[in-house]
Structure 1
């Protein structure tokens, strides 16, 4: 069966169907009739009639070529009668039923040819393919060795399509590429796999400014360099200039070891104000904190979205307690930790995502440390922090955003730097939990559970309005972490 529709040159293309090989033609002619003499009562209708003569003549010639002609009564309907589609279909059915004897006669005449109907079999889903060679397109500054180490597929042999997709995701996860796709060229001996890359800009510089009522004005600078200290390496330098300055240098290198192992080194310092409140939410003490950190770890980009890393961390906290005007007391803490981090990110964009999930978690084993220059905690302890946010699009400009976060410390004697703090909007440290409606660091507790539900709209391009409900529960011990919220806000 062949279906042919008309166009500008021939509105009822019966002869075109014949030229395409049709033996029997059932035509449905739905063009409007010419106006009668009495209907030609306006200039518009006269002009329409003049332009329609040629089409009417062509339609009549084409109708004569049909084996069976069906002509529904379209009445006053036209090409813009979209809301009347049910009525038009009904009129078409009525016209076809009038031609039912001719249609049945056509069916009976075809029985003499004894047609054989063959059931088409749907081929099974392709599970594996044989790769006879792999080619690379678009590689400039990224080496083939780096690609092979992360792709983890042999140059020849059978592979599952799922393995191919996972390999592409791992290449994305290196953050060396803006785009990665592939092409398969099949042959009798196997398929040629071509990986096509668009590399990220290798060296770039970013600048921004930030202001909030707690950290005041800050200038943020970032420089990123790739392959500067070795093949498959990335060097990030971040500076924060302002009343509470900070700096961080992070170096990562993707090795050729499998399964996709990399090495990371990080050193940094961050300054921030710290505040302690009474249970009545009255400000009790002010601190200025300098947090020095050094890390060395191993990581693996399991896929484009999922990364795990584990390593050793050294921390030093230098804390100034404000007593009176121009009078402070200084004390410090230092400790050594083991940590494991997990990150899962399927957000469609970094800023104001429209869909996707984000999960980040850290499990840390804090070893005995020095505090006030003396041993304060004589036992090591565990702590867990986790963040989860989901973006659910309801419309192209409306997103619902549920989130749940928590920080837990498994110890009865906890140094001040390892408390969890609730309030404000800052997340410059992992144990700071934002909470709309509370001032910065209003609540401090060993254990915190928070959640929120937000509705974000984009009434104009890149202009957003968010309605948000927050809840939180805090406790001093894991045996009574509240399930029901103790703190609630909206805005």
Structure 2
């Protein structure tokens, strides 16, 4: 069963397969009901995850030999490829899609980051971890599925164009069955009067990986549990000759069963293998069994599509004499293919939107959801715009499923959106970890927990709270209230409290150690800039105090200050990743007007910018930071990727400037479930800092470089690095680092 655990290609092929649906039910019925004057041939395709790409190779050879297919039965991955073929997709199109797919994006456990709402992206910057739990009345809950609630369906809805798989399975031009397992009874479920995309989605619902799907009144999961090779189903559909393709993963050797996970995997494989053996025993002498030799291609090796497709072609050629006995003449085969590849429904043109129905919501207000789509009644709308609106709703994180149905009547377009609210997304906790060590005097460790409660009222109010425990201790909370259904404008009151420490330096040496405490309240008026940005103006008050800890000072009182602030802030985030981005930009520009209880107003300016890029297997970014304050020290430099080699935060001033260039090469991948990419890279850095009475100059410039090895973990990027910095006086400072946290 775990042989089907390759979720994201499945979703992508799922999307691809529904693009070529027929336009006319009458034409389909005529093709479906016409009895050929020859034996009816059924193609039965098994599940097998990435190994199922071999089905494309088999289809390629059947096409070359002009072997007709009158019936298609598929399980899991076989349902994806078989459904695509039955719905009219050409083999060339399937193969081209597989080759052009962005596997890193497809195999991710959520939608691409660029398609998330800006507040969801903002959460990544606050806590760059992927450890999330639900919090409800019954306590803490695990995610309902390891691969994300509805990423597979969302990919389908996003990629499918005209005639997307809304047509019921039993109305396709080529008779097709997707096989699933009834989760309540354990019985085989044949999906017939079900939309094509939903039938294939259900057949792919690997337990623990994808959430079960309710179809035809039953809760169903992957069909491989009970019928991974549906020979008997094909026979029931009238097949007289069966071409069965088995790509299942072989059982592991005893020496490879070394953990609880491998034991569970083997148990599921045994269940699948047993039902496959029973199905193979049902084959008759006239039937053809094709078993591609896939070797070490595993169920998750989607990037080895060339090997899988080639194995399918080779296995089909091995039985070519038996297949060629079924071949049609060139004219007859072309006629059959023309009937299968009926032109899809033309939904690309824009038509006036006559109705927009929102169904399935419990906490979300339908009026607010309709406003969030940006679709307006009476205005022309294309299918691409409908899919974009659905993508935005899914990217909000509030919904597990966003299913759209589009129909045209009398030159007007009708859109139905059936939503499933996130089972635990309305109240979720993200756990993070921050670790920093230079294997010397600077060692920091902080646990982070962020709680987000969404859909708190009809307009979509949201409360976000962040707690830190360790070297940084604090708590912050903010409430974001849109100013109307679907409004881009919002109000956001907030407060924060933080205890921390810092070192004072003189000529690169620690002279004292201080403890600091800061409390703040704020109120902001903001506006969302699409999904990519945010603009705010606000007011606030900050109360700060500091006390020298080392060396101890007798009878000292805390140094305290209270500042009123008025600010404007502009933020942009289009990064594709917060672990190691390869494209996109990050901008944070803020200007503040500060007023002390006595004295004239002061100004503080901060700018941060990052631009990411990629070059083959290399990825990198250019980063710049500039800050200036009329009140004294505003920021500090020193430490990994902030003048690597210098002591942490050892260079400060009322004005600082900093820039770096980072490149890293992808070396490999962590085991599935433990993390992501392994990289080796380097950085080139330059920075300077001065007090307000002095201007920054070349004499202040510090140069630094680092070399690092990084691993993408579930808590964020983990770095092992060495750095070296050189000042204008040719003083060299070196350091080694172990660092877990954000790169900015």
1:102 aligned residue: none
State how far apart, in whole Å, the 2-side matches of 1:10 and 1:163 are.
36
What SS does structure 2 have at the residue aligned with 1:145?
helix
1:347 aligned residue: 575
Greater relative contact order (Cα 8 A, min sep 6): structure 1 or 2?
2
Are the equivalent residues in 1 in contact too, given 2:637–2:649 (CA < 8 A)?
yes
Which of 518, 522, 539 in structure 2 is aligned with 1:291? Answer: 518
1:435 aligned residue: 643
State how far apart, in whole Å, the 1-side matches of 2:457 and 2:658 are.
41
State how far apart, in whole Å, the 1-side matches of 2:396 and 2:323 are.
63
Which has a greater percent of strand? 1
Matched, 1:222 2:443: no
Which of 420, 426, 443 in structure 1 is aligned with 2:635? Answer: 420
Equivalence map 1:145-184=2 (5 Å): 145-158=367-380, 176-177=398-399, 184=406
Which of 583, 589, 610 in structure 2 is aligned with 1:389? Answer: 610
TM-score, with length taken from structure 2: 0.44
Equivalence map 1:88-487=2 (5 Å): 129-137=351-359, 139-158=361-380, 176-177=398-399, 184-195=406-417, 197=419, 199-200=421-422, 201-213=425-437, 214=442, 216-228=444-456, 231-256=459-484, 260-278=488-506, 280-322=507-549, 324-325=551-552, 327=554, 328-366=556-594, 368-370=595-597, 375=598, 378-395=599-616, 397-409=617-629, 411=630, 414-416=631-633, 419-425=634-640, 434-461=642-669, 462=676, 463-476=678-691, 480-482=695-697, 486-487=701-702
TM-score, with length taken from structure 1: 0.64
Are the equivalent residues in 2 in contact too, given 1:169–1:304 (CA < 8 A)?
no
Give the deviation of 1:313 after TM superposition: 1.2
After superposition, what is the alpha-carbon deviation per residue over 1:79-118, rounded to whole angstroms, capped at 9, x for unaligned? xxxxxxxxxxxxxxxxxxxxxxxxxxxxxxxxxxxxxxxx
Give the deviation of 1:319 after TM superposition: 0.9
Are the equivalent residues in 1 in contact too, given 2:348–2:384 (CA < 8 A)?
no
Give the deviation of 1:363 after TM superposition: 1.7
State how far apart, in whole Å, the 2-side matches of 1:379 and 1:170 are.
46
Are the equivalent residues in 1 in contact too, given 2:528–2:534 (CA < 8 A)?
yes
What SS does structure 1 have at the residue aligned with 2:647?
coil
What SS does structure 1 have at the residue aligned with 2:558?
strand
Give the deviation of 1:344 after TM superposition: 1.2
State how far apart, in whole Å, the 2-side matches of 1:7 and 1:336 are.
71
State how far apart, in whole Å, the 2-side matches of 1:14 and 1:304 are.
49
Give the deviation of 1:193 after TM superposition: 3.2
Which residues of structure 1 form unaligned runs of 5+? Answer: 1-5, 16-49, 66-124, 426-432
Give the deviation of 1:455 after TM superposition: 1.2
State how far apart, in whole Å, the 2-side matches of 1:257 and 1:144 are.
9
1:26 aligned residue: none
435-444 or 191-200: which moved more? 191-200
1:79 aligned residue: none
State how far apart, in whole Å, the 2-side matches of 1:484 and 1:178 are.
56
After superposition, what is the alpha-carbon deviation per residue over 1:457-490, rounded to whole angstroms, capped at 9, x for unaligned? 3322223333111111334459944589811111
Are the equivalent residues in 2 in contact too, given 1:146–1:254 (CA < 8 A)?
no
Q: Against the structure 1 CA distance between its residues 53 and 444, is the aligned structure 2 distance closer, same or farther, given a 3 Å change threshold?
A: closer
Are the equivalent residues in 1 in contact too, given 2:581–2:613 (CA < 8 A)?
no
State how far apart, in whole Å, the 1-side matches of 2:698 and 2:391 are.
37
Q: Against the structure 1 CA distance between its residues 250 and 312, is the aligned structure 2 distance closer, same or farther, given a 3 Å change threshold?
A: same
Please report the RMSD computed on the Cα atoms of aligned residues, expressed in angstroms: 4.2
Are the equivalent residues in 1 in contact too, given 2:495–2:522 (CA < 8 A)?
yes
Larger radius of gyration: 1
183-192 or 235-244: which moved more? 183-192
Give the deviation of 1:224 after TM superposition: 2.0
State how far apart, in whole Å, the 2-side matches of 1:288 and 1:333 are.
15
State how far apart, in whole Å, the 2-side matches of 1:275 and 1:304 are.
39
